[in-house]
A and B are shown apart, each in its own frame.
Chain A
Amino acid sequence: MPADNDSILAEFAAKLRGLIEEGARALEREDQAAIRLVQQKLNHFPDESPSAADALDRTALLAAIDLDAANTRDAAARIRSRSDEVARLAKLIDAAAQSAAGSAETLRLNSVRTALTSATDAISAFKSLREQLKSDKPDESTIKTEITQIIDSIQLLRNRIEKV
């Protein structure tokens, strides 16, 4: 019955219009869950509509695409609008990273300095001890010789560190 078919088509046309309006509102609210729900309803629309509603079905599917395209455009625009802020933060983090790397470098240099100080102090301590010993006493003379050997070895070690 054509009259019945017309009224059914009109009913589905109204339903589709309602879905498209619902999608536009969801888009305006940036409500992702609502956009997805409307898309699902639009994609489901051809499964429920009468077989003569090809044009409406097509419009429903195209509306699901339009919703995504507009949503993606808005999302990308928001991302782009944050780019200046991202660039500013990148510079700040880069500076913090360079500062941390600089601290690490200073620590590395300090380690060499510390090792040198340690070796130098050890040499001084041993020299001081050696001066207290007498060469004419056999026991002390032996120790004096051993200390001299130790000093020479530490000096050798210090020279190696300095080269590093």
Chain B
Amino acid sequence: MLQRLILSVCFLVVGGCGTLPDIKPFADATVTMKAAVAGSYDAAILRTQDAVAAVRVIESPTETATALANYEKAITDFNAGRPHRQALLSALVKYADGLAAIVDAGKQAGDSVKAVSSQVQGLVSVFMANPLPGVPVKLTETLLTKAIEIGSLNSLDAALASASPIVEEVVKVLDADLQDIAGAIGTKAAALEAAYRVPYIDQENQRRALILRRDVLLKSIGDPAGTALPAETVQKLRDVETTLSSIDRWYVPLQERLLKVKETAKADEELVTKARALLAQWVAANRDLSQAVKESRKPNVGALVATALEVRDVLSKQ
């Protein structure tokens, strides 16, 4: 009976089989992708909320009513779409975990066969030393392990084949979302800059006029070289400098705020760009995984892992 079992497993081995691929990097990258897409979504909502707060400061309902209504509508739509994306991303994580579970189950099955075989092997060691025909326990172990690997690979192949067309669609939809999010984020920095500057528009013009006046005065005292400066011009310059210094009390914080807006926008854009890159790498890795299982080779997940690391780095700075 044992011989028959060995023979039947031999058939499977002759058919060829590959080593079970390591799915963990793919599963880990899927978790990162979920975080990256969710983070991009968050950025779009947060920046829109920032815009609402900044526009409200303008305190001119007639001038800002349309913009505020558009922003509020956008926030409602973002929030309405959010749970569907969360469900989709959670399903993708479950899908990747499911693939990893198939591989784990295959490996565990191989381990349990090895455990049984090694115990049996230990038990028969005395018997093997005798001149009676020995039972090829080690061969049985190898063949059974291979057979289980083939079973796992077949399950993995079936899982990938059934999910691949859906995965391609999912990635298209998520990328379209990220493109729209990138668009919404991309125009936010200029809007925030404008909203923060509107309450200071008169003062900005006053400041520009003062700077022009200072330049004119400086030019006038620069002309008569070696001569004493006219006291009146010096006083005018002092007055201009005093006024400019007082303006700095609002101008400097405003500039700091605008710098912060630019930095935040840069970080948001980097996150969305990396999220899109990760999405592209992820779908490529899913395709390659499917092909790798068919070709009995290791899947190429190097680019996916590298991009996932970059995304984690960006997320940690958010």
Instruction: Give the B-binding residues of A (Cβ under 8 A).
Output: 30, 32, 35-36, 39-40, 42-43, 46-47, 51, 53-54, 57-58, 61-62, 64-73, 75-80, 82-83, 85-87, 89-94, 96-101, 103-108, 110-112, 114-115, 117-119, 121-122, 124-126, 128-129, 143, 146-147, 149-150, 153-154, 157, 161
B112→A32 contact, CB < 8 A: no
A114→B120 contact, CB < 8 A: no
**Shortest beta-carbon distance, B293 to chain A, in Å?**
13
Q: Assuming A32-B182, A107-B109, A118-B144, is B201 touching A46 (CB within 8 A)? A: yes
Nearest chain-B residue to A82 (Cβ)?
Answer: B173
Nearest chain-B residue to A42 (Cβ)?
Answer: B194
Main DSSP-derived SS at the A contact region: helix
**Shortest beta-carbon distance, A95 to chain B, in Å?**
9
**Residues in chain A near residue B299, CB distance under 8 A:** none
Partner of B148, one of A78, A90, A111, A154: A111
**Residues in chain B near residue A100, CB distance under 8 A:** 95, 98-99, 101-102, 155, 159, 163
A86→B94 contact, CB < 8 A: no
**Residues in chain A near residue B88, CB distance under 8 A:** 86-87, 89-90, 93
Nearest chain-A residue to B95 (Cβ)?
Answer: A97
A107→B151 contact, CB < 8 A: yes
B101→A104 contact, CB < 8 A: yes
Q: Which B residues from 159 to 204 make CB contacts under 8 A with A?
A: 159, 162-163, 166-167, 169-170, 173, 176-177, 180-184, 186-188, 190-191, 193-195, 197-198, 201-202, 204
Complex CA gap A84/B148 in Å reads 40
Complex CA gap A147/B144 in Å reads 23
Answer yes or no: B78 CB below 8 A from chain A CBs. yes
Partner of B1, one of A65, A76, A78, A125: A125
Complex CA gap A69/B73 in Å reads 9
**Residues in chain B near residue A76, CB distance under 8 A:** 44, 48, 73-78, 81, 180, 184
Known: A65-B64, A153-B123. 12 other contacts (CB 8 A): A32-B183, A67-B190, A82-B81, A89-B88, A99-B159, A104-B105, A110-B109, A111-B110, A115-B112, A121-B1, A150-B120, A153-B119
Top 7 A-B residue pairs of the complex, sorted by shortest distance between their CB atoms: A100-B98, A111-B109, A68-B191, A104-B101, A39-B190, A97-B94, A107-B105
**Residues in chain B near residue A68, CB distance under 8 A:** 51, 67, 187-188, 190-191
B127→A150 contact, CB < 8 A: yes
**Residues in chain A near residue B187, CB distance under 8 A:** 32, 35-36, 39, 67-68, 71-72
B181→A79 contact, CB < 8 A: yes
Complex CA gap A98/B182 in Å reads 33
B97→A72 contact, CB < 8 A: no
For this complex, 28 residue pairs linking A to B, each with C-beta atoms less than 8 Å apart, are A42-B194, A46-B197, A57-B205, A62-B63, A67-B187, A69-B51, A69-B66, A69-B70, A71-B184, A72-B48, A76-B76, A76-B184, A87-B88, A90-B84, A101-B94, A103-B155, A103-B159, A104-B155, A108-B105, A110-B109, A112-B112, A122-B137, A125-B2, A150-B127, A154-B119, A154-B123, A157-B119, A157-B120
Answer yes or no: B135 CB below 8 A from chain A CBs. yes
Complex CA gap A80/B254 in Å reads 35
Partner of A93, one of B95, B190, B205: B95
Instruction: Give the A-binding residues of B (Cβ under 8 A).
Output: 1-2, 5, 44, 48, 51, 55, 58, 63-64, 66-68, 70-71, 73-78, 80-81, 84-85, 87-88, 90-92, 94-95, 97-99, 101-102, 104-106, 108-110, 112-113, 115-117, 119-120, 123-124, 126-127, 130, 132-133, 135, 137, 140, 144, 147-148, 151-152, 155, 158-159, 162-163, 166-167, 169-170, 173, 176-177, 180-184, 186-188, 190-191, 193-195, 197-198, 201-202, 204-206, 208-209
Complex CA gap A126/B1 in Å reads 10
Complex CA gap A79/B45 in Å reads 12
Q: Assuming A39-B191, A51-B209, A111-B148, is B173 touching A89 (CB within 8 A)? A: yes
Complex CA gap A90/B82 in Å reads 13
B190→A36 contact, CB < 8 A: yes
B85→A86 contact, CB < 8 A: yes
**Shortest beta-carbon distance, B105 to chain A, in Å?**
4
**Residues in chain A near residue B162, CB distance under 8 A:** 96, 99
Partner of A108, one of B108, B206, B209: B108
**Residues in chain A near residue B159, CB distance under 8 A:** 96, 99-100, 103
**Residues in chain A near residue B137, CB distance under 8 A:** 122
